[in-house]
Each structure stands twice: as C-alpha cells, then as structure tokens.
A and B are shown apart, each in its own frame.
Chain A
C-alpha cells in the first residue's frame, strides 16, 4: 500500500483539483485500500458539503440580482468627483476652515497625536519584539516655510502610495457615553481627571465619551515604503523585511474624552488615556529611521543624524511644527514638562493645544482659546 495522503491532497482530490490525472488516479487507488484515508476523506467531504450548504443560505434571488455595472460606475465617478481632499477631510474632522491649508496642517499634527492616543501596543505577531515605544515626552521639530512645500509633497506622495494596508478591525472599540467622571473612570479602568476651572459660558457637553479596548491588524507594504524612500533619496535598507513579514497587531486601549461647548459649538476637548505603546522588530533601528524622517523634512544628512542622536526615539513623540505661524514652547504643567502649541487666526480667534504625560497617562487638551487661557484650564485639573 502506498503512503497515506495528506489532508490537503485528499481535499483537492474531492474537488478534482489535483494537478494531473496521474495524481488523481494515485489517490483513488490509495483510498480503495486505506481505511484511515477513507475516513479522513469522508470527514472532509462532510465538512465541505456542510460549509457549501450554509453559505448557500446567504444567496437568494434578491441578492443574486447583480446591480448594473454601468450604473455602479456612474455612481463611482460621481463619488470620485465629489470626494474632498485628505486635507479637507482632516480639516473637517477637526472643525477647521476647509479653505485654509495651514489649519489643515495643524490638523495633521493634532491627528498624529489623536491617533497615537487610540493605538496602544503595535506588536509583531512573531513575538520578536525587543524595542518598545512609549510616550514619555514630546519634542518639536521646527519646520520652516521652505520645508512646508516638501511636507506637502510628502503628503501627496503618501496619499498616492499608501504603504499601510487598510486596518482590519479584529475587535472594534465600543464608544460609550457616560454621565459622570466616576463612572467613566470605572469604564476606562483608570482614574480620569477633569479641570475645576473653565472659561465663563463654557458648558459641558452631554455625557463623557469612553472608548473601550479593541484590536486591529495592519500590514506594511515594505516594497512600496522602500520605493518611497528611494524617491526621497533615502536608504531603502533602513526598512527591514521583518517589518512587512506579517500583520502588525494593534491594540486599541481605553480613552476618556470630555468636551465643553461655547454657544452650542465645541470649544474645548480633553483626552486622556494610558500612554501608547508601540513594539517593532529588533532589526528596525529607530534612530536611523528617525534620522530618515528628519531628512524627509528637509534636514541635511549630517544635521538629521546629529538631531536624531539627541532624541530618545523610544520615549519621545516627535511633532513637526510649521513655525512660521504656530508658536510652541515647553511648559510646566501638572508638575511635569509639557508642550503647548498655539496658532492665532486672522479672523477666527485662537487655537491652542497642550500635551503632557504623567504617571503613564497621556493628556491632550485643545480648544479655541489663547495659550494662557488653555494653561489656566489645564492647571486646574484634579
């Protein structure tokens, strides 16, 4: 009797999908003499028929009617023409003026922070993580007007050649609206805080938003990312194969968001949550990647290396800030060092953002306030 057949061979045999007739005959002949393989084949056939029957439930006459492809194409073209740009979408998300690119850029910076808030550990499934990123401080890389165009170019390049796959939500975090801070703390699993002082006429929005834990997977297209590096004149070898070897698992962790309104419009938001943690394979050199990012922002190779060495990339969230219209400075807040950014609009008032980390919790506050007023609010947090 010939050797027993693998499950895969038997399954392919049942579908008459073995590569050639010789192999089909060999399996057929083996099955005639082998009880074990016959039993396996019977089980596989039963599983297959069962799966097919269940999936057939999904299809009925209404669903089988395929929509007109021409009509679907017309709809798509309409959507393409009507779709706002990335900048417009981001500006819209943050309630900023759609027609001004500068607020949109600030939005980008704020978005980086906001996204960082929602992503806890990014782990490589293989478990070969040696390096961990955890925010303990914030740093600013000033970007001058000349580098702005380059940032815009990078933005366009990324938009056209997105090297991260769409995240697959394994477990989407649930968002709950909760009445009191105490209940929000229980739901989030940490002691959430709130400011005692608020500017006159600021009223709390109804309920506190608690985003629960969740998880997602995202895959890095290393080849595409490398080609972007080449286009930007950087060394593609900075990105090791391991970065794209398998999906990165992203854990989303609890976050508490409080909002205050002024004349029925959002005027102040305060986010808090455990410090984000990002794990990456041990053959990724964060300092070298950081230096590459600095070069992308227009620094010379030597300058980028010098600055990169001064930054601890495993504990610092680095924010590129366009200094010609955003002022920033380090401040002492909540007994620790934080970073405050502020922008004065011509006709829309002020917009400021403040971020700091304390006892493993990262805090982010932003509002339509002058820097000093936002500091007053932050100073009153208990």
Chain B
C-alpha cells in the first residue's frame, strides 16, 4: 500500500523542490497546484487584467520549471518575488504605452450607463496602478500580499525578513502608496 507520506501532495515545499531538482514532474505539478492560485491573485491585483495575469502566472512557473531553486529556498517567496517583478514590468510598460497613446478606447458594445460605469472603474483602477507603479516593487508586493490576507509570519518568510520588521515596512509602504497616489492626482 502506498504510504501517505510518499505521495507528493503530503510533502513540504522543500521536499517537493528537492524532487523537482531531480527531475520529478509530479512534484512540480503539486507545487503548481499549491501556489498557482495565490500567484495569480497577486498578479491580477497588480495588472488588473485576467488574461495578462494568467499569462504572467504561466511565465512565473515556467521559470521555476526551467531553473529549479536551490535546496532550502522558500518556493512561495521566490514565486511571489518573480511574480511581483513580472507584474511591475507589465504595469510600467502599460503606463508608458498609455502615456504615449494618451487615449482611452471606448467600448461601444456596452449600453451608455454601463459604459460610463466601466469607464469610471477603469479610471479608478488606472489611478491605483499608477500609484503602485511609482512605489518600490517590494512595497507594492507587501501591500498586495497583506491585502490578500498574508499574516506577518507569512510576509516575513516571503520577503526574507524578520517578522518584527513587517510592521515598520507596512507603515512605510502604506505612506509611500498614499503619497504616490495623491501626488499623481495633483
């Protein structure tokens, strides 16, 4: 009979990572199932578009597949860091594009009241993304992960810092975010 402890689903990230390093694809799939949801949630909050978030999440796991981490690395922390980097790159690229084009494409398929609501929501999202793009990526990551419900312990493990410093980091990140947002509206 198969022992429960031998099935990949029961293994810790560290053990799964070790198996991935040895070429075990089943363990990679378990890591994917375990972390994909949160990686996607992080990305969709950063880029605000489902399709782009899905594609970026794929890219994150593709990199994990191609370059398995070192023994003892925090898989979740690495995934969220890479996702944040990719999300920020996408966010900033879009900001530049929008600045260049400086136009908003109207969605003519929507009825007038609905179109207005959509446009309003898009503008609100754009303002938040603009502010996120102007603070440090680590601060944006911290704010989003906290909003996703990460505890201080989880944040500390992800960011490789002491749990005692999370309070200070959050306070700074929130202040920077508010200043960036309000600065952008001036």
| Chain A interfacial positions (CB closer than 8 Å to B) | 6-13, 15, 17, 19, 44, 47-48, 50-52, 54-60, 62-63, 65-67, 69, 72-73, 75-76, 79-80, 83, 159-162, 165-166, 168-169, 171-172, 174, 223-224, 227
Given contacts A51-B174, A54-B128, A73-B32, contact A12 B166 (CB under 8 A): yes
CB–CB A76/B62 < 8 A:
yes
Asked whether any CB of chain A lies closer than 8 Å to the CB of B80, the reply is no
Residues on A with C-beta less than 8 A from B48 are 58, 63
Cα separation A168 to B137 with both chains bound (whole Å):
9
Contact with B85, one of A66, A161, A168, A223 (Cβ below 8 angstroms): A168
CB–CB A63/B62 < 8 A:
no
Interface of B, helix, strand, loop or mixed by DSSP: helix
Total B residues in contact with A, Cβ cutoff 8 Å: 60
Name 29 interchain pairs, CB-CB below 8 A, sorted by A.
A7-B168, A7-B171, A10-B171, A11-B167, A12-B166, A13-B167, A17-B151, A19-B164, A48-B174, A51-B143, A52-B147, A54-B128, A55-B144, A58-B48, A58-B128, A59-B45, A63-B48, A66-B40, A67-B54, A69-B32, A69-B36, A72-B32, A73-B36, A159-B66, A160-B66, A160-B67, A162-B67, A172-B96, A227-B70
Chain B residues 11-60 with CB under 8 Å of chain A are 29, 32-33, 36-37, 40-41, 44-46, 48, 50, 53-54, 57-58
Chain B residue at minimal CB-CB distance from A67: B54
Residues on A with C-beta less than 8 A from B165 are 8
CB–CB B58/A75 < 8 A:
yes
Cα separation A50 to B181 with both chains bound (whole Å):
11
| Chain B interfacial positions (CB closer than 8 Å to A) | 29, 32-33, 36-37, 40-41, 44-46, 48, 50, 53-54, 57-58, 61-63, 65-68, 70, 82, 85-86, 88-89, 92-93, 96, 100, 121, 124-125, 128-129, 131, 137, 143-144, 147, 151-152, 163-171, 173-175, 177-178, 181
